[in-house]
Amino acid sequence: MNKAPKKERNRGMYEALLTMQTVDEMMKFFDDLCTVTEIVAMEQRFQVAVCLSKGMIYNDILNQTGASSATISRVNRSLQYGNGGYDMAFERLGITEAEN
Name which CATH class applies to 22-93.
mainly alpha
Contact 65, 51 (CB under 8 A): yes
Residue 99, pLDDT > 60, answer: no
**Using one digit for the tens of pLDDT, what is the confidence trace for 6-23?**
778 889 999 999 999 999
Long-range contacts of 43-48 (CB under 8 A, 24+ apart): 44/71, 45/71, 45/74, 45/75, 46/86, 48/72, 48/75
- In the chain, domain spans: 22-93
**Using one digit for the tens of pLDDT, what is the confidence trace for 29-77?**
999 999 999 999 999 999 999 999 999 999 999 999 999 999 999 999 9
Confidence of residue 2 (pLDDT cuts 50, 70, 90): low
| DSSP 8-state secondary structure symbol assigned to residue 72 | H
